[in-house]
Structure 1
């Protein structure tokens, strides 16, 4: 498995005793939402097999969150890592306190990410993961309204000084990913987690260049657009109601997505690469084509998905002219979570 730099040289000398000077992670990471149960029924035994298979194949980056099964995903990860000797980097997330998701422009950080709340939540993350220090703690969402008074991030910096956190990050709100640009330029985050895929290419405009400018690590999520970019779904596919994607692909969204995914398949065939690359390979390779990207997390809930997603790292990069052609699939579809 190829690796990339997640965080490095910008650390001050006095922080060297807390944070490694460089952290390299597998360019394909394990997305652990599904093993928490948010994507329909899932058996813990199958989840643990998938986690072990991923580590066996060189994956050393796992992304989870408090809300993935109310900590269940974190606990499974902790159980598996107890039996492994490999050094595995685990990123988790603290959600805001109850209220709109993502936070509205009128939300106060004092109500959503107060110091007391964050301290309690981080302690829960430590307990679930069975560690004394969290490799990467991300705020699970954000609002631009807090950029000029980003006190929640100041709380995380204090927690890092206390030895409870190594790296600090923010997972971008879907509707306003560029809100983290100011945070990056102000040196408040070490890592950002963003949506970047064949349908959503907006980060190339400014977010990714600013990440390079500031030395900020970039975790890409939703590279497969919740699975539709694998090309395995039909236009009339409907997910069970207990699967997050039942809402994500509500109405005619699946049909529209499949039609656009098929256009990508046609490009793959036009380049004569359909024998060597799956649709999933193309989607993951597109996200990895940007040098600013540190790792691409792909959801993995069984060994078959682990094998499919990790094989991509061993394939040669897509031709430059194909990457240019794939840019035409950028889709300004709005924010589906909002009901469009």
Structure 2
């Protein structure tokens, strides 16, 4: 496993970390014993950063990570998120009182005294240009409820606006071979501000694994079945906003340039780590074997210039027109 510094937090975290959305919900049926075995295997392999949220299974994901912490003694970092519990989910709800209540609930779920990292969970865009939510996070930090805070964003513009707030230590953004836009302008700005970058949705909701097919069936409670056009939340969260059939073709072309000995998923993860500004990618895993495959990507050989160009060409040819203007 390789490690990089998460911006101004100083945390040395695994370049392949663990995204805990899938073990919480909206990815189809899960099994808690299998999920716990997967968390344990990830920790065995040197993964030391676990990203979750208070709405993943209504706190279920957080409680699974709390159980992992009870059962293991190795040091690890937990990042959670707050804000999506608001109903309605609007900018005026991002107050000190609400964020404090969310933080306290996450502390209880995680069985922690202080949160390692609390991230605003894809708030409405206007929140980034206001001070109230960030002043509230500063206050929660001064009260000892959290050590550091960051944001999870939908768009590059939101990410750039978030950097104006000096307390922001990390930005979580969708970045993968189907969503390379953040590398154009945001990465340099984040590096200058000493802000860590967490690459989320690194496998484009499974498209980049090469395992999905035209006739792949998704469970009714899997967001890949009910959010393809943004019916429940931002469309970019599902298949990175890419039309499913187009994404299948792009994934097929990518498989033609995968290095021998790599799986398509490992190729996609290694592509992300080719960007030194990235601190980590957070693929999900629901089975120990998935955690093993993901973790192994950290130690694979760098991709060649020809492979990097091939990825860019596939994006420019098939995906840029539908993706680039929107996020």
Are the aligned partners of 1:185 and 1:210 in contact in 2 as well (CA < 8 Å)?
Answer: no
Which deviations, in whole Å up to 9, do the C-alpha atoms of 1:112-153 show, x marking residues without a partner? 212211111110010000001000000001333233322111
| Alignment RMSD (CA, Å) | 1.9
Match of residue 69 from structure 2 = 81
Q: Distance in 2 between matches of 1:79 and 1:215?
A: 32
Which deviations, in whole Å up to 9, do the C-alpha atoms of 1:29-61 show, x marking residues without a partner? 111111112211111000000000000010000
Q: Distance in 2 between matches of 1:65 and 1:229?
A: 24
Q: Distance in 1 between matches of 2:246 and 2:222?
A: 19
Match of residue 99 from structure 1 = 88
1:123 to 101, 104, 120: 104
Match of residue 132 from structure 1 = 113
TM-score normalized by the length of structure 2: 0.90
Match of residue 33 from structure 2 = 45
Q: Distance in 1 between matches of 2:257 and 2:185?
A: 27
Aligned residues: 309
2:245 to 245, 251, 255: 255
Match of residue 11 from structure 1 = none
Change (3 A) 1:203 1:37: same
Q: Distance in 2 between matches of 1:80 and 1:183?
A: 32
TM-score normalized by the length of structure 1: 0.86
Match of residue 58 from structure 1 = 46
The offset of 1:304, in angstroms, is 1.3
Q: Distance in 1 between matches of 2:145 and 2:322?
A: 38
Bigger Rg over Cα: 1
The offset of 1:99, in angstroms, is 2.5
Are the aligned partners of 2:83 and 2:123 in contact in 1 as well (CA < 8 Å)?
Answer: no
2:220 to 238, 241, 244: 241
Q: Distance in 2 between matches of 1:148 and 1:183?
A: 8
Match of residue 267 from structure 1 = 257
1:301 to 279, 286, 289: 286
* Residues 22-31 or 145-154, more deviating: 145-154
- 1:279 correspondence with 2:264: yes
Which deviations, in whole Å up to 9, do the C-alpha atoms of 1:133-192 show, x marking residues without a partner? 00000000133323332211110111011111111111002xx33212122144241100
Structure 2 segments unaligned to the other structure (5+ residues): 231-241
Match of residue 17 from structure 1 = none
Which deviations, in whole Å up to 9, do the C-alpha atoms of 1:223-260 show, x marking residues without a partner? 10001101011122231111111124479933221111
SS of residue in 1 equivalent to 2:116: strand
- 1:144 correspondence with 2:125: yes
Change (3 A) 1:255 1:182: closer
